[in-house]
Amino acid sequence: MEKDRITGSEALLRTLLAEGVDCIFGYPGGQAIPIYDCLYDYTDRLRHVLVRHEQGATHAAQGYARVSGKPGVAIVTSGPGATNTITGIADAMIDSTPIVVITGQVPSPLLGTDAFQEVDMIGIALPITKWAYQVRKAEEIAWAVSRAFYIASSGRPGPVLIDISKDAQVGMADYVYQPVRFIRSYQPTPEMNLENVAAAADLINAARRPFVLAGQGVMLSGAERELVAFLEKGDIPAATTMLGLSSLPSDHRLNKGMLGMHGNIGPNRKTNECDVLIAVGMRFDDRVTGDLNSYARQAKIIHIDIDLSEIDKNVPVDIPLPGDAKEILSALTKRLKPAKHDAWIAAFDADAQEEDIKVIRKEIHPASGPLRMGEVIRKVSEATGHDAVLATDVGQNQMMSVRYFKFRHTRSLISSGGLGTMGYGLPAAIGAKIGAPERTVCCFVGDGGLQMTLQELGTIMQENLDLKIILLNNDSLGMVRQWQELFWHERYSFTMMENPDFVAIARAYRLGARAVSAREELDDAIREMLDHDGGYLLVAHVEKAGMVYPMVPAGKSLNDMIVE
């Protein structure tokens, strides 16, 4: 059988198609021109989204991956184009998001000569990727790309970088595509330990106050139904990490809210009152645990995670359950005895009532004064029937959004967790809308984060995306200002911002836009935004000194929450 002899660039595009890629986020440049020249003939099969900055390409790839469950793809040129992807790659690594970043590189004979726009991308990327590889020959491309997709999407997902020299892009090679399904010495999913599963089931069956902490690993393993079945059979209350939000419907009777620094009172307090703590696909991040010396000291801890390195890393566990959450939850549920924990579940009610009186009512139903972030967020969520995808930037807008937006469907939160990347929200929302075009995507941003990637409004314009952006504008870097007020003696050092006319900017990009500051105009403004055919920016002028409560101060115990 005669093999096709093609360029490395065409081998790249053929392999992307073979791996199921339908969209690329990218920005062309000198050392990626051969790829883009070849792409000219593939636009009927591969959608290319021209972002306005390479960082936007990686964040858009992340948003696409988070809603679709498929690896997102970014293609950029060498030098500054490649280094501009580093923030998104680091973000994807810590948040377990599968993306494949392809960077152009100078011709291989020039490597190491400090050629124009030469950067050692492998050296830079190795600490923040699952795998980074430099291709110098055309015949390596199909192998490297297929391997990249397998590594990015298997086990604990994450980013992979493929750096392709220009001579490899233009060189000729016989095209051979073989999907990678196994790599020697790489075991993405640990084998389930049935003895530990049985021991964990016995411990849960004997518990009087069991409590589940669900992280993003539930969604990454596709274990949403298994989680519900496990909770309902054992009658076990649960809470989620921020990135675990939407793995369990917000209105499920056993869903007690969100954990962490700005989480709900009940889940945080009950973490230190339960007798068995079952962590599923979460990594005991410091924003969830607070002071480790006082974290769940009374509880027996069961930890389900696909990444062996996470078990016993931060919190010592009594029964480790490494493996795929979907398989382990299913095995555990078979061994559970039907149970009732009415008194324990009811114990969350007093905490919920306290939070409702001291925090929530004031935030979503203020009697007077300027608009509050929480009321804007809740009204948007209600107007979409709680069916929308929520994308956020980082800061007060993020914490308020995840507190007051509600979810009915899985894979409905797109937000930067572990890295806390300002500027993430807008490009990630673009990727989310392309990855789930049938869903409404609402992107909440602050005035600080929006201006870090504001240029991506041009991508929305060019792609004609029906994306709804809500700017919670308090003319400050709100979260830093909050910390300055609470912990730095109200010394507001460089957190106040003089902002432009955002409505005028949005209209310059041919987006619909409106600003609102009066409470009586809010409902009409939200309806106008959602009814508008195309991209829309709603600027909500909110309270300048708003605070996100509850709050567990950094390094403090979960019992040390500031409630008001």
d(CA 558, CA 291): 7
Q: Active site residue: 10, 19, 25, 54, which one? A: 54
Cα dihedral 242, 246, 249, 253, rounded to 10, equals: -20
Q: Active site residue: 130, 166, 270, 326, which one? A: 166
Contact call for residues 216 and 282 (beta carbons, < 8 A): yes
- Does the annotation mark 117 as catalytic? yes
Alpha helices per DSSP H over 19-165 = 33-39, 54-68, 80-83, 86-94, 121-125, 141-153
Nearest partner of 431 among 5, 54, 59, judged by Cα = 59
Contact call for residues 74 and 83 (beta carbons, < 8 A): no
Place of tokens 């050629």: 115
- Does the annotation mark 166 as catalytic? yes
Contacts of residue 399, defined as CB under 8 A and 6 or more positions apart, other chains included, come to 262, 479, 548
d(CA 497, CA 501): 13
Nearest partner of 152 among 191, 177, 183, 121, judged by Cα = 183
DSSP 177-243: ------BTTB-SSPPP-HHHHHHHHHHHHH-SSEEEEE-THHHHTT-HHHHHHHHHHHT--EEE-TT
d(CA 144, CA 275): 48
What b/e sequence results for 419-443 when a residue is b if at least 16 CB atoms lie within 10 Å of its CB, and e otherwise?
bebbbbbbbbbbbbbbbbeebbbbb
Q: Active site residue: 452, 479, 547, 551, which one? A: 479
- Does the annotation mark 54 as catalytic? yes
Helix (H) / strand (E) containing 44: none
Kindly state the tokens that stand for 448.
Answer: 């600080």
Contact call for residues 84 and 55 (beta carbons, < 8 A): yes
- Does the annotation mark 116 as catalytic? yes
Q: Active site residue: 116, 187, 496, 544, which one? A: 116
Active-site amino acid positions: 54, 116-117, 166, 479
